[in-house]
Amino acid sequence: MAELVSQHTDAIGWHELLGRSLTIRHEPGAAELCEGLQGMLGNVAGLDGTVRLEFLKKAVYRLRLGTEPGRSFILKRHRPAIAHTDRLLQSRWLPALGLLDCSPRLLAAAAQREGRWIWHVYDDLGGETLTRRSEPCCEDAAIDLIVDLHTRAVGQPLLAEVRWYGRDHGAHFFTSSLRDGIALLETLATYRADAPDQFAAVRMRLLERLYAFLDDAPRRVRILEDVGGRDTLLHGDLWPDNVFVALTSDGVCARLIDWDHISVGPFGFDVSTLLYRTPAEARPSIWRRYRERIERAGWRLADDAELNILFHTSEVARSASCIVWPALALLNERAAWGVPMLLEIDRWFDVLRPPLPGEAATP
């Protein structure tokens, strides 16, 4: 939703109006962000006075200064560790792969004085994502970029640094997510504060699910190691909304945003994320494009039945890892949102099936 911050005047600058709006939204570091933006943009000569702030999602905004092109920016608030990996992504990792242009430019940064939050300012890529533009030409451009990312990064020394500062989404992520989820759910056996009647049953059902997957872990880990291929650089959160496509005079240009979960692991982790967040009827064509392009690049993939298990295992790991934060919130803070979130995760497992047509992969 777009919000008209105000018409700035000589007495009140655009940065002051922006600061007031962010403060009203209880955003930490608003003053420091506005100082950084003022240093980057100055008085923005020729600004017609219109300042618009659009809330996109938690801690992410679009800032429009005037109506002329080139004066629209994305403001995103990070924790310091994520801000650091995002800067490394732009300064070292993507340039090393020849893929710097596949991500929006990081234009400026501003740290909250207490050091708990870092604001980043990015180029605004607009609103055309793969969710909105699913034409074959857009899907082709997106898949070509993802294949480029996966094939160029294999064997690169930068993977060790990415693993250190980012995440590892290999077999260990699958087994540790199951074990962490089980440990926390077991601890919640004595939780009683404001728990709805169905909480105990849901907790037990989640435990049964995780124990079943843990029993099946040796088979799944073997498949991950046998057919997952060599570790590569992963976007880590490859929703269609994080894939931007733009129609240009030279064709379709694809770029990726929201690299907060950048990691190392098998290609199937990214591919499964994309497939599970795509309508079921569109998944076979997305997968077919990916397979064709990566095999054209010299990779030899396993058959779809085994890869279907690999994709399903990645989604199980993601879902199990989501148990950690609501469970900790209940144990440490008795947070009201913890129980509804666990109920929602239980519903995810209820409908979780392999993403491609074929044999079921549930234990």
Do the beta carbons of residue 302 and residue 227 sit within 8 Å?
yes
Domain 136-351 homologous superfamily, CATH = Aminoglycoside phosphotransferase (APH), C-terminal lobe (3.90.1200.10)
Do the beta carbons of residue 214 and residue 175 sit within 8 Å?
yes
* Distances 203 to 164, 206, 211 between C-alpha atoms, Å: 33, 5, 12
Give CA–CA dist 112/200, Å, rounded: 41
Give CA–CA dist 210/358, Å, rounded: 23
Tens-level pLDDT at each residue, the chain (363 residues): 455 455 554 445 777 888 888 998 999 999 999 999 888 886 554 456 678 899 999 999 999 887 776 689 999 999 999 999 999 999 999 999 999 999 999 999 999 999 999 999 999 998 899 999 988 999 999 999 999 999 999 999 999 999 999 999 999 999 999 999 999 999 999 887 677 778 889 999 999 999 999 999 999 999 999 999 999 999 999 999 999 998 887 889 999 999 999 999 999 999 999 999 999 999 999 999 999 999 999 999 999 999 999 999 999 999 999 999 999 999 999 888 999 999 999 999 999 999 999 755 555
Which pTM does this prediction carry?
0.92
DSSP E strands in the chain: the ranges are: 2-7, 50-57, 60-65, 72-78, 106-111, 118-123, 167-168, 232-234, 243-248, 251-256, 263-265
Q: Which residue has the tokens 């801690």?
A: 59
Q: Which of 145, 139, 151, 170 is nearest to 295 (CA)?
A: 151
Question: 4: helix, coil or strand?
Answer: strand
**pLDDT the model gives residue 167:** 95
Q: Exposure string (b/e) for 22-39, b if CB count within 10 Å is 16 or more?
A: beeeebbbbbbbbebbbe
Give CA–CA dist 120/85, Å, rounded: 12
Choices 1.20.1330, 2.30.30, 2.40.160, 3.30.200: CATH for 2-123: 3.30.200
Give CA–CA dist 200/120, Å, rounded: 42
- The ranges assigned to domains in the chain are 2-123, 136-351
**pLDDT the model gives residue 4:** 47
**pLDDT the model gives residue 198:** 84
Q: Which of 142, 229, 181, 215 is nearest to 345 (CA)?
A: 181
DSSP label at residue 288: H
84 by Cβ neighbours in 10 Å (0-12 / 13-18 / 19+) ranks as middle
